[in-house]
Amino acid sequence: HKIDAIELDVHLSKDGVLIVHHDPVVMNEKGVKVPIREHYADYLSTLFIDGYQHIPTFKEVLLLIKETCDYPLTLFVEIKVDERNRRYPDIEDKVLSLLTETDLSDSSWILSFDFPTLIDVKAKNEKIHTSALISKTYLTSVGSKGVDKVISDMKSLKVSSVSVKDIYLTQTLIDALHKENLLVGVWTVNKEKDMKVFKEMKVDVITSDNPLLLRETLNIY
């Protein structure tokens, strides 16, 4: 079953290795949550998610894509912050370097909730596509300034896309972003009825935990 894209999140280990994991903390062998940044990559690789899946490095995932994917695949890489909500030192350089090393830079997008991260990525590689992830915190800060403020901020970031959690995405925002030639993404859409709604709303990118249902619903074969 061919999918259009993969989205993953990256953090940085104590020894500077990029780790693929959603949260900034992992469950150790004692069942205690510990920060990724405080542990070496070799140790993190011994831990398991749900008891069977080991935690991969970013390089491992990139090489797996290279080895197994025989068609054009878009990779969405979300650069995360640590459990203190701080940026990892030099994580942008490390991500861009590995994408270049594996010849996946041209087919990759960099995503982040952290706007300074997106600014730094664009400064280091102006050709790579970036996408701003819109949080509830950001939308709350925008307040009565509304869509005009969002558009102004996105243009200043020089992003190519804006992605919003499903419950916060409105037709007004979609239309305003499209008017500025910005792509619009939405996450995480797992129900068929919601997939159909966002298709009708002309969303460009739908992120789902169930890509096969999404393909079937959107009639993509």
> With 90 as the cut, is the pLDDT of residue 1 above it?
no
167 vs 219, more confident: 167
Domain 135-221 has CATH 1.10.3720.10: no
For 182, list phi and psi in degrees, rounded to 5: -100, 135
- So what's the pLDDT on residue 178? 98
pLDDT the model gives residue 78 = 99
pLDDT in tens, 54-81: 999 999 999 999 999 999 999 999 999 9
Strand partners, 20: 10
Residue 52: pLDDT over 60: yes
> Domains of the chain: which residue ranges?
1-131, 135-221
Q: How confident is the model at residue 39 (pLDDT cuts 50, 70, 90)?
A: very high
**Distance separating alpha carbons of residues 99 and 104, to the nearest angstrom:** 5
Mean pLDDT of the chain: 96
Could you tell me the pLDDT band of residue 125, with boundaries at 50, 70 and 90? Answer: very high
- If pLDDT is split at 50, 70 and 90, which confidence band does 88 have? very high
Residue 94 pLDDT exceeds 80: yes
pLDDT exceeds cutoff 80 at 51: no
- pLDDT at residue 221 tops 70: no
In the chain, which residue ranges form alpha helices assigned H by DSSP?
41-44, 58-68, 91-101, 115-124, 136-142, 146-157, 171-179, 192-200, 211-218
**Would the CATH topology of 1-131 be identical to that of 135-221?**
yes
Distance between CA atoms of residues 205 and 208, nearest Å: 10
Q: Tell me the percentage of the chain whose pLDDT exceeds 70.
A: 99
SS3 65: helix
Superfamily of domain 1-131 in the CATH hierarchy:
Phosphatidylinositol (PI) phosphodiesterase (3.20.20.190)
Percent of the chain having pLDDT more than 90? 93
CA distances from 145 to 138, 148, 153, 173, 182 (A): 12, 7, 11, 13, 19
Per-residue pLDDT tens for 159-212?
Answer: 999 999 999 999 999 999 999 999 999 999 999 999 999 999 999 999 999 999
Determine the pLDDT at residue 104. Answer: 98
- Cα torsion 177, 181, 182, 184: sign: positive
